[in-house]
């Protein structure tokens, strides 16, 4: 009687339909619940508040690259400041975590016992203590234990480090900067063609060309030569101590440093394990084979181990980048002015538009996460095995 229940086709359709109904029902429940509650509280949602003058300072003047102006900037500008501050933490965190993770992952496989012990201790120490605790340790325990503003540690009288911030010189946006940028772009284009030529030559003659070292030289020298020919030089704005604080230049707040350090050390530990797994996944037969055809150790890593290890490394790496970005919202614990702190925190409190602000914040994190996923998927396709 119930024989149709055992038909594969019926079951497929039935469970698909069931899933859709449950999902739609849940969506409707959310919508209904929100709209009735808003009506009950007499709140009309809308985004007009984004054009109102914010009236508070959401970022320090030493790190105000979006040009927030207390006198006329709006809650919309607070949103921009927050996104910017979140992104610079996430980007720097991803870069440092990747470097740290690769170094530690390789060290953990080292035959040198001390090195591999240091790497193991790092990984276990980071992974077994909650991130929030690390953020508090970095900020309250390490950064705030630094010297006072007047007792700043100075490097060549242009960089000053104290418990509040790292004061750096800021390059002024003159023709020289544009020339350097132009030079770098020209160098990249040159390297692209150089690589093509080198690959072709290797295919035809079997001889290698040191593309990597030449590229590094080119990236440095093309802008330098351009500057010399044009007779320009970069002018810098140096930080100076005036009153309570250093002014001019860039001041990276201590809370920013603490966030980048905590996030990259913490995520670096997970990346180290991913890298270690990736390298161990390349069977020793591959390495023996590479050795038997006469490749040198450097070439073995570059042409045999790393390309195969990357296939294992890249997919889990993506999720580490995603967690790092989302974990940056813990910044509120130490008063760093990220999106959650200034927009979802202060703007929401001052305007009372909780629903809109939470939605915008979610949208931002979702977009960033999707962007990272898309980029890493593209990268993954490039390193994945090309099946013929």
Residues that bind another protein (CB under 8 A): 41-43, 55-62, 70-71, 140, 144, 148, 163-164, 242-245, 247, 254-255, 332-335, 337, 341-342, 345-346, 348-350, 352, 354
- Helix ranges restricted to H, the chain: 8-40, 75-108, 113-127, 131-136, 175-205, 211-230, 254-280, 284-292, 297-299, 306-327, 339-341, 348-351, 354-383
Which tokens go with 39?
Answer: 């009506």
To another protein, the closest distance from the beta carbon of 125 in angstroms equals 24
To another protein, the closest distance from the beta carbon of 61 in angstroms equals 6
Of residues 274 and 346, the one with the C-beta less far from another protein: 346
Q: Which residues of 243-268 are buried (b: 16+ CB within 10 A; e: fewer)?
A: eebbeebbbbbbbbbbbbbbbbbbbb
* Edge-to-edge order in the sheet of strand 159-161: 153-155, 159-161, 165-168, 250-253
Of residues 164 and 276, the one with the C-beta less far from another protein: 164
SS3 59: coil
Which tokens go with 321?
Answer: 């980048």
To another protein, the closest distance from the beta carbon of 153 in angstroms equals 15
Of residues 69 and 124, the one with the C-beta less far from another protein: 69
Of residues 148 and 205, the one with the C-beta less far from another protein: 148
The distance from CA 118 to its chain's CA centroid, rounded to whole angstroms, is 25
Q: Render 321-387 in DSSP notation, one character per residue.
A: HHHHHHHGGGGGGGT---HHHIIIIIIHHHH--HHHHHHHHHHHHHHHHHHHHHHHHHHHHHHS---
Of residues 219 and 332, the one with the C-beta less far from another protein: 332
Per DSSP bridges, beta strands 250-253 and 240-242 are unpaired
Of residues 96 and 256, the one with the C-beta less far from another protein: 256
Of residues 260 and 269, the one with the C-beta less far from another protein: 260
- Widest CA span of the chain, in angstroms? 91
To another protein, the closest distance from the beta carbon of 136 in angstroms equals 10
- Contact between 259 and 89 (Cβ < 8 Å): yes
Torsion over CA: 325, 326, 331, 333 (sign): negative
To another protein, the closest distance from the beta carbon of 337 in angstroms equals 7
To another protein, the closest distance from the beta carbon of 329 in angstroms equals 13
The distance from CA 122 to its chain's CA centroid, rounded to whole angstroms, is 21
To another protein, the closest distance from the beta carbon of 93 in angstroms equals 21
Of residues 343 and 364, the one with the C-beta less far from another protein: 343
Which tokens go with 379?
Answer: 């990268």
Of residues 62 and 223, the one with the C-beta less far from another protein: 62
Which tokens go with 209?
Answer: 């060309």
To another protein, the closest distance from the beta carbon of 141 in angstroms equals 10
To another protein, the closest distance from the beta carbon of 254 in angstroms equals 7
Contacts of 82 (CB under 8 A, 6+ apart): 58, 337, 338, 339, 340, 341, 342, 343, 344
Of residues 37 and 228, the one with the C-beta less far from another protein: 37
Which tokens go with 197?
Answer: 């030529």
- Contact between 352 and 42 (Cβ < 8 Å): no
To another protein, the closest distance from the beta carbon of 76 in angstroms equals 17
């Amino acid at each position: 009687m119930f024989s149709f229940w055992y038909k594969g086709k019926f079951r497929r359709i039935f469970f698909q339909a069931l899933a859709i109904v449950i999902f739609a029902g849940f969506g409707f429940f959310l919508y209904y619940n929100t709209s009735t509650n808003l009506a009950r509280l007499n709140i009309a949602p809308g985004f007009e508040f984004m054009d109102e003058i914010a009236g508070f300072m959401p970022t320090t003047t030493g790190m105000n690259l979006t040009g927030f102006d207390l006198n006329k900037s709006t809650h919309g500008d607070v949103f921009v400041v927050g996104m910017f501050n979140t992104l610079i933490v996430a980007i720097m965190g991803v870069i440092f975590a990747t470097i740290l993770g690769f170094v530690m992952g390789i060290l953990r496989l080292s035959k040198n016992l001390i090195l591999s012990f240091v790497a193991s201790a790092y990984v276990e120490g980071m992974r077994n203590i909650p991130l929030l605790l690390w953020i508090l340790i970095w900020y309250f325990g390490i950064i705030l234990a630094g010297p006072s503003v007047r007792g700043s540690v100075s490097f060549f009288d242009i960089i000053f480090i104290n418990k509040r911030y790292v004061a750096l010189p800021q390059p002024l946006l003159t023709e020289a900067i544009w020339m350097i940028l132009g030079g770098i772009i020209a160098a990249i284009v040159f390297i692209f063609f150089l690589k093509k030529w080198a690959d072709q030559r290797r295919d035809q003659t079997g001889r290698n060309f040191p593309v990597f070292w030449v590229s590094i030289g080119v990236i440095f020298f093309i802008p330098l030569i351009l500057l010399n020919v044009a007779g320009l030089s970069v002018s810098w704005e140096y930080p100076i101590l005036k009153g309570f604080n250093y002014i001019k230049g860039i001041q990276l707040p201590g809370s920013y440093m603490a966030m980048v350090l905590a996030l990259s050390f913490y995520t670096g530990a997970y990346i180290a394990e991913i890298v270690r797994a990736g390298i161990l996944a390349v069977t020793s037969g591959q390495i023996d084979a590479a050795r038997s055809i006469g490749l040198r150790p450097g070439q073995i890593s570059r042409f045999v181990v790393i390309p195969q290890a990357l296939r294992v490394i890249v997919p889990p790496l993506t999720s580490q980048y995603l967690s790092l970005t989302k974990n940056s919202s813990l910044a509120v614990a130490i008063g760093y002015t990220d999106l959650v702190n200034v927009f979802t925190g202060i703007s929401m409190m001052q305007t009372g538009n909780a629903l809109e602000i939470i939605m915008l914040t979610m949208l931002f994190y979702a977009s960033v996460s999707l962007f990272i996923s898309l980029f890493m998927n593209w990268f993954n396709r490039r390193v994945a095995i090309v099946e013929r």
